[in-house]
Amino acid sequence: MFMINKQPIVGSERMEFTRRDTNIAKGLFIVMMLVHHLFYDYDTFGNFNVSFFVLSEHQVVVLAQYFKLCIAGFAFLTFYGMTRKYMSIPRLELNRQVVPMTIKKYISLQGSFLFVYVFSLLTALLMKEDLGALYSNGEQSWLGYGIIDGLGMADFFHTPTLNVTWWYMSFAVIIICLFPVLYILYDKCGMILVVAAAFLPGALQMETTYYGMCLLSMVLGIFAAKVDLFVKLRTYKKGNLYIKFLKAAWCMILCILSFQLLFHSVSASWYFAVAALTWTYACYEFISPIKLLNIIFDYIGQHSMTIFLTHTFLYYYYAKEFIYGVKYGVFIVLLLLVCSLLISVVMDLLKKVLHYQSFIIFLQGKVVAMYHAARL
């Protein structure tokens, strides 16, 4: 979902925040999401007598609530990656390509979701779910609600959904469409837009929605990409252990600050923004250079979207006893992660067999061609 195609130049001092670095950050955020969903509320796991070793239940619940920052992390990475993509295109050509690029991004996102939706629908039928009852409201057609859900827009229209965590799809579609607007505004206003994004959500009472809570995170994604923030920070006095220690200390301070912002009724958008930026940088500075860790989180990040779309069926709908039955918090997270990864791998194999990605590329080309033809 969130990609940057450039690769580091071998044998050069030049560094870049690559697609792999993005995947590593996505991998960390998706693990945070699993912890958040599994343990953010006592009612979710309280009947299973879960053990957390050195931490108390209350400490785990508080940590899981803090990990809600993963939402802002994904929004931040989306805007960072799309900004780098826009920056690679000459201005005149970019003006021509804004709509086609948005169309392609939407089709790619929707194509990934639709495959999982069909897979999930078949699973629900095998589990003898009453889809007619789920997708109905009095006399209204359940098929219409199913189509809206399949388009990932159930949360936007407040209609029934097969999976409660699919609300993020509506959010993802909206922010993809919102990105070109914020990108152009940043080009015109610069840091004024950052300041506006910091104060407007609270002033306009927008922080009751995820769009308001994530606005500052999204704008900071544009800012960080424009100024190449992470590379500048990582290359600053590279190799100096004292500076490395100071960077780690600042990351810890900012993480603590974002934690305090969450639990002391300060602007939610500030907590999200500080946390998203800090954790992304910490991944790049401290996880990306470590071979085993970067391989693990890179692999998880590659499968992050399917993990997000399917994990709820396991821990919430169909296999709750199995997931929570291992009793220990760390093993519960690992079990859910491994099971979700296996589902993602199977789906990827099915996509290859069906040449699904080729179909998505073909569809993107056709829709963009129709757009250009309509403009003539």
pLDDT for 132 equals 83
Find the mean pLDDT for residues 145-161: 93
pLDDT for 30 equals 98
Sign, CA torsion 208/213/216/219: negative
pLDDT for 266 equals 65
Q: Tell me: pLDDT of 3 over 80.
A: no
Q: How high is the mean pLDDT of the chain?
A: 91
pLDDT for 139 equals 62
Find the mean pLDDT for residues 290-314: 96
The model's pTM: 0.92
Cα dihedral value 29, 30, 35, 38, nearest 10: 150
Buried b (16+ CB within 10 A) or exposed e, 251-271: beebbebbbebbeeeebbbbb
Tokens of 203: 């002033």
Q: How distant is the alpha carbon of residue 152 from its chain centre?
A: 15
| Percentage of residues in the chain having pLDDT higher than 90 | 77
Find the mean pLDDT for residues 136-141: 69
Domain locations in the chain?
19-375
Q: Tell me: pLDDT of 10 over 50.
A: no
Query: Is the model more confident about 209 or about 165?
Result: 165
Q: Tell me: pLDDT of 4 over 70.
A: no
Find the mean pLDDT for residues 212-228: 96
Query: Is the model more confident about 43 or about 304?
Result: 304
Q: Tell me: pLDDT of 144 over 90.
A: no
Q: What's the CA gap between 123 and 118, in Å, rounded? A: 9
Q: What's the CA gap between 314 and 73, in Å, rounded? A: 23
The three-state secondary structure class of 56 is: coil
Find the mean pLDDT for residues 311-340: 96
pLDDT for 6 equals 44
Backbone angles phi, psi at 51, to 5 degrees: -105, 135
Find the mean pLDDT for residues 151-156: 94
pLDDT for 208 equals 81
HEC sequence for 246-311: HHHHHHHHHHHHHHHHHHCCCCHHHHHHHHHHHHHHHHHHHHCCCHHHHHHHHHHHHCHHHHHHHH
Count the Cβ atoms, other than its own, within 10 Å of residue 309.
26
DSSP string, 151-186: TT-HHHHT---S-GGGHHHHHHHHHHHHHHHHHHHH
The three-state secondary structure class of 4 is: coil
Tokens of 196: 């506006």
Q: With contact defined as beta carbons under 8 Å apart, do 19 and 5 qualify?
A: yes
pLDDT for 7 equals 44
Segment 266-294, tens digit of pLDDT? 678 899 999 999 999 999 999 999 999 99
pLDDT for 138 equals 67
Name, in order, each residue with C-beta under 8 angstroms of 159's C-beta and a sequence gap of 6 or more.
137, 145, 148, 149
Q: Tell me: pLDDT of 11 over 50.
A: no
Find the mean pLDDT for residues 355-371: 95
pLDDT for 366 equals 96
Strand partners, 140: 137
Q: Which of 14-28, 68-82, 190-204 has the highest mean pLDDT?
A: 68-82
pLDDT for 134 equals 86
Q: Tell me: pLDDT of 364 over 80.
A: yes
Q: With contact defined as beta carbons under 8 Å apart, do 25 and 66 qualify?
A: no
pLDDT for 14 equals 61
Tokens of 67: 């990990």
